[in-house]
Amino acid sequence: MINVTNTAAEKIREKLADEGKPGLNLRVYVEGGGCSGMQYGLVFEEETQDGDEIVEQDGFNILVDRFSAPYLKGITIDFVASLQGTGFKIDNPNSSGSCGCGQSFKV
């Protein structure tokens, strides 16, 4: 369902370790907003919610809620450093377009 590049997986494990709480999960979700209508969110959470899909990945779990799952099917999470900034980048084959900054998308 979700692909994570080696670079992104390394950065996620590093950030999880920085939190100092064993058992944290990475939640990936979408919500309304942003320039193009939908935007991505990434947060660390300890608890799962009813209906969460759990994707096991290189030493950590990714949680995806029911609403977000169809929008995130087949995405690739990467970590990039560029002149425009450093951070996680999501490549979504389901989107029909995105804003200039790449933080939101439309389907």
The average pLDDT across 34-53 equals: 87
pLDDT of residue 72: 93
In a domain, 30, yes or no: yes
The residues near 94 (Cβ < 8 Å, ≥ 6 apart) are 70, 71, 72, 73, 74, 75, 107
Reading across the β-sheet that carries 75-82, which strands appear in turn?
A: 2-4, 75-82, 85-91
The domain of 33 spans 2-96
Distances (CA, A) of 75 to 4, 18, 51, 71, 93: 8, 25, 19, 9, 6
Computed over every residue of the chain, the mean pLDDT equals 86
On whether residue 107 sits in a domain, the answer given is no
Q: Is residue 102 part of a domain?
A: no
Q: Which pTM was predicted?
A: 0.83
Residue 51 lies in a domain: yes
Which range (17-21, 22-26, 31-35) has the least confidence?
31-35
Q: What is the mean pLDDT of residues 71-84?
A: 90
The CATH number that applies at residue 81 is 2.60.300.12
Residues 105, 56, 33, CA angle at the centre, nearest 5°?
Answer: 20
Structure confidence at residue 31 as a pLDDT band (50, 70, 90): confident
- State how many domains the chain has: 1
pLDDT exceeds 70 at position 96: no
Residue 21 lies in a domain: yes
Residue 90 has pLDDT above 60, yes or no: yes
Answer yes or no: is 78 within a domain: yes
